[in-house]
Amino acid sequence: MAAKLSSLENPKVKVSHRGAQRLKAGHVWVYRSDLVSADGIAPGSLVDVVDERGRFLGSAFYSSSSQIAIRWLSREPIRQTDDLLRQRIRDAIAYRERVVEDTNAYRVVFSEADFLPGLIVDRYDDLLAVEILTQAMDQESRRATIVSELSDAFRPAGIIERIEAKIRELEQLPARASGLLLGEKTSTVFAMNGVKFHYDALAGQKTGAFLDQRENYAAAAQYARGEALDAFCYQGGFALHLAQRGSKVTGVDSSRPALEMADRNAELNGCQVEWIEGNAFDLLRDYSAAGHKYDTIVLDPPAFARSRSTLETALRGYKELNLRAIRMLRPGGILITCSCSYHVSRADFLRVVGEAARDNRRSLRIIESRTQARDHPILSGVPETAYLKCIISTVS
């Protein structure tokens, strides 16, 4: 009996005082530099986390290669993850039933913020797009559980796995291609806030769309007016929402495939939008130098700061972009400016946008200081889960 019990025990990972403090403060990661001992633990194992004196701190997933060595799961001792994964997926779905409205595209599972570290699931109408980001979630039995639970809950026409090759490399997982895990369908049309979008599960960026901006699209559309410029428009998220409210919109992006999709989306909604393929930094510089004017400008660039070391450069980049945009706004114009870099704090972002206005001798009033849509919840104690800033302001 004793032998049987001990064979059910999880391997133990001992963490430093700093690692233990981090968990006690509500964070869910322990970095490799804060491990005291984790010898011989298999990649992706379910482990017991203990402090330097051997006291149990919680159950977690272990990665043998990531700098994030421990992803915390529970204060309770857990011996198998099948039931836990199923229950947490059901909880995540129930949470969305409370906070998501007016869309059939939203994030169903947001990794740590849903206590499912390493798993992302997005719903697009009758398709589900899944991203598996860690050794632990990649284990065959866990993959099977995830697919089975999602299939029971949604009866989807397709579950598609999206692969980011770099993430698999970092986790030292064998290369895989994006593809179907269940069903046969890989494209559909979804709708949010009454705007329709084509979806191709095997193309595009992220899992296909920027679902985290869904509520910001609706807010932007509420204030936007007149002639509008959507810089970094991707497949037209902001642009189409503005066009539907009667603005005359120009969308700019450097990605041709994104603009081709944007154009199909405009047609789907019966909207007229002018799409320009090009570098938005150059275009803003040239247009502002040439004296172009707009009533509404959206700035939603890709993440500039991928690490803390590039923060200063990123802030200069944001300032420059906002400076040019504000110069082109007519008095009373609306600026919708976003940053999705976690490393850029809201305070820093507001500061550089404010400086950009003052350098233009303009006044900026903030109407709304927004974040990601509620289907991307923010977990208290884990600042990394709060990454999106979307500031809507009027410039006089």
Question: Which segment (2-10, 150-158, 233-241, 377-385) binds ligand SAH by CB under 6 A?
Answer: 233-241
The strand order across the sheet containing 105-110 reads 105-110, 119-124, 127-132, 158-161, 179-183
x/- letters, 308..347, toward ligand SAH (CB under 6 A): ----------------------------------------
CB of 39 to ligand SAH, least distance (A): 42
Cα–Cα distance between 65 and 330 in angstroms, integer?
52
CB of 238 to ligand SAH, least distance (A): 5
Asked whether position 255 contacts ligand SAH by CB under 6 A, the answer is: yes
SS3 55: coil
Among 146, 243, 258, 395, contact with ligand SAH (rule: CB under 6 A): 258
x/- letters, 115..134, toward ligand SAH (CB under 6 A): --------------------
Question: Which segment (9-17, 64-72, 294-302, 385-393) binds ligand SAH by CB under 6 A?
Answer: 294-302
Measured at the alpha carbon of residue 84, what is the angle toward residues 179 and 208, in degrees to the nearest 5?
Answer: 30
Beta bridge partners of 188: 199
Question: Which segment (28-36, 133-141, 295-303, 380-388) binds ligand SAH by CB under 6 A?
Answer: 295-303
Question: Which segment (72-80, 122-130, 227-235, 367-375) binds ligand SAH by CB under 6 A?
Answer: 227-235
Residue 204: left if φ>0, alpha if ψ -120 to 50, beta else—which one?
A: left
Asked whether position 287 contacts ligand SAH by CB under 6 A, the answer is: no
CB of 162 to ligand SAH, least distance (A): 16
Q: Which of 271, 338, 340, 390 is catalytic?
A: 340
Among 246, 302, 331, 332, contact with ligand SAH (rule: CB under 6 A): 302
* H or E stretch at 9: none
Per the document, the length of the chain is 396
Calculate the alpha carbon distances from 180 to 147, 175, 202, 205, 331 in Å: 11, 16, 9, 17, 50
Cα–Cα distance between 2 and 11 in angstroms, integer?
17
Cα–Cα distance between 330 and 344 in angstroms, integer?
28
Among 29, 106, 190, 210, contact with ligand SAH (rule: CB under 6 A): 210
Sign of the C-alpha dihedral computed for residues 238, 244, 249 and 250 taken in this order: positive
Asked whether position 234 contacts ligand SAH by CB under 6 A, the answer is: yes
Q: Which is nearer to ligand SAH, 116 or 373 (CB)?
A: 373
Cα-flanking dihedrals φ and ψ of residue 299, to 5°?
A: -120, 115
Asked whether position 238 contacts ligand SAH by CB under 6 A, the answer is: yes
Asked whether position 191 contacts ligand SAH by CB under 6 A, the answer is: no
Asked whether position 197 contacts ligand SAH by CB under 6 A, the answer is: no
Q: Scan residues 51-90 and list those touching ligand SAH (CB under 6 A).
A: none
Q: Count the helices and strands in the chain (H runs, E runs).
A: 12, 20
Tokens 């692969």 belong to which residue? Answer: 163
Calculate the alpha carbon distances from 86 to 69, 158, 215, 278 in Å: 23, 19, 28, 45
Among 131, 253, 348, 375, contact with ligand SAH (rule: CB under 6 A): 253
Q: Which is nearer to ligand SAH, 38 or 211 (CB)?
A: 211
Catalytic residue list contains 340 = yes
Q: Which is nearer to ligand SAH, 10 or 213 (CB)?
A: 213
Cα–Cα distance between 147 and 241 in angstroms, integer?
33
Cα–Cα distance between 157 and 186 in angstroms, integer?
8
CB of 278 to ligand SAH, least distance (A): 7
Cα–Cα distance between 167 and 145 in angstroms, integer?
21
**Parallel, antiparallel, or unpaired for β 227-231 and 68-74?**
unpaired
Active site residues per annotation: 340
Q: Rule CB under 6 A: which residues touch ligand SAH?
A: 210, 213, 232-235, 237-238, 252-255, 258, 279-281, 300-302
